[in-house]
Structure 1
Amino acid sequence: MARARALLPELAGFAAAGAAAYVVDVVLFVWLRGPGGLGPLPAKALSFVAACSVAYAGNAAGTYRRRAPAGARATRRAARFAVFCGINAAGAAVQLLCLVVSHYALGLTSARADAVSGAGVGMALATCLRFWGTRTLVFRVRPGSSEVGRRDT
């Protein structure tokens, strides 16, 4: 119980960074599709990268700031960002897979079923994957460290 309680601030910070990223993703996508004049795939690709950048910055500067080593090399930060984007892409794939299974394999083809499977079930599973991946692969704690705030450099 104490361990779960200790995780609450981390979950809240992760959710706040994710919410900000979601807003950037939606607003930028809508703008790029409309006044920006881009097609749906380039617009989504650009809004996805922008949202990943916002989520990464929010997590690095906020949620996991105590795990950030002082003076981390730029190449290491770039590698962490690449892993973070990969985790987010995997989350997007999970959401898409939930929609594909529901719509095409199970034959649940209504707009409501698509919303539940893609934006409901898919988002919940993708968020769990993103949280696990972010804390385990991107901002990890050093093995054997008694400090929660330390990570590999």
Structure 2
Amino acid sequence: MSDRRTLRDRLRGIAQEAAKFGTVGAFGFLVNVVVFNLCGQAAGLAPIRSGVIATSAAICANYLGNRYWTYRHRDKTGRSREAGLFLLFSCVGMVIENGVLALSHYGLGFTSPLADNLAKNVIGLGIGSLFRFWSYRTWVFRTAPAPAPGATPEPATAGSPGN
């Protein structure tokens, strides 16, 4: 029975983490779409250039949201390692997003603003987000190490996850 409860607790924790990741991602999505369309439609930049600029802006917003909200309870000791891995996996996600856009725009000839938005911001971003969720929780925002046996736990503060 305890194994079942443990599994249920793990699944509940992953669901809560995924919901927070999705909320941060929704904000990043808005940043991505607005910047992509401003660059492409208002500034007249090429689709891939617009996509790279938009995704870079969203990566910055998403790092802040994920570090300080979604994964705030995770290990914070290796910030430079964390930021480097976040950037690496975010860039892989950017390649996925813009690869789908390039395939649609240049390979298949779907060149309308609607087609570009669907390719990049729906299909590419969806696939890229699945990759990012897995890689961030697995490699970037690692679980904080458990306290040593017999060590006294730190007192809870107003900003800790339990409060």
TM-score normalized with structure 1 length = 0.66
Q: Which residue is 2:89 aligned to?
A: 87
Q: Is the 8 A contact 1:32 1:38 kept in 2?
A: yes
Match of 1:140 among 133, 139, 142: 142
- Structure 1 runs of 4+ off > 3 angstroms? 76-79, 92-100, 114-125
Q: How far is the alpha carbon of 1:120 from its aligned partner?
A: 6.1
CA distance in 2, matches of 1:30, 1:117: 13
Does the 8 A contact of 1:87 with 1:130 survive in 2? yes
Paired AA for residue 46 in structure 1: I
Residue in 1 aligned with 2:34? 27
1:47 — aligned with what?
54
For residue 6 of structure 1, what is the amino acid of its counterpart? G
- For residues 91 and 98 of structure 1, what CA distance do their matches in structure 2 show? 11
**Structure 2 unaligned blocks of 5 or more:** 1-6, 148-159
How many residues are treated as equivalent by the alignment?
137
1:32 Cα offset (Å) = 2.4
2:85, 2:55 → 1: CA distance?
14
Listed as ranges, the matches of 1:2-151 within 5 Å are: 2=8, 3-35=10-42, 37=43, 39-40=45-46, 41-69=48-76, 76-95=78-97, 100=103, 123-142=125-144, 145=146
Helix, strand or coil at the partner of 2:73: helix
Q: Is the 8 A contact 1:60 1:68 kept in 2?
A: no
1:63, distance to aligned residue in structure 2 (A): 0.5
* Offset from partner CA, 1:61-83 (integer Å, 9 cap, x none): 111011153xx5xxx53442332
Residue type of the partner of 2:86? F
Closer/same/farther in 2, CA of residues 121 and 30 from structure 1, 3 Å limit: closer
Q: Write the distance in 2 (CA, Å) between the matches of 1:131 and 1:7.
A: 11
- Structure with higher Rg: it is 2
**RMSD, matched Cα:** 3.7
Identical residues among aligned pairs (%): 27
Query: Once the 2 structures are TM-superposed, how far is the Cα of residue 95 of structure 1 from its aligned partner?
Result: 4.7
Question: For the residues of structure 2 that align with 1:44 and 1:119, how far apart are their CA atoms?
Answer: 9
